[in-house]
């Protein structure tokens, strides 16, 4: 899994800064959402800070900084 681009002076949604995220087949994925991160997290509408019923495991946002 490749790591997505990091902040280069523009606002980057939190998922792109998370240590659990990566890119697979040109799609943002993570350990909680291995088939694709929901748009509400991918585009920064919400932050994935609590375990959700539709996710895998107990992984939540953990900034890779």
> How does pLDDT run across 3-54, given as a tens digit for each residue?
555 545 567 788 888 999 999 999 999 999 999 999 999 988 999 999 999 9
In eight-state DSSP terms, residue 63 is B
Domain boundaries, the chain: 1-65
**Could you tell me which residue, 63 or 12, shows the higher pLDDT?**
63
pLDDT for 16 equals: 85
pTM for this prediction: 0.78
């Amino acid at each position: 899994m490749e790591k997505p681009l990091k902040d280069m002076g523009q606002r980057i949604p939190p998922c792109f800064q998370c240590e659990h995220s990566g890119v697979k087949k040109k799609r943002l994925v993570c350990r909680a959402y291995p088939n694709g991160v929901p748009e509400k997290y991918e585009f920064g509408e919400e932050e994935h800070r609590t375990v959700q019923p539709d996710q895998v495991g107990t992984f939540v946002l953990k900034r890779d900084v």
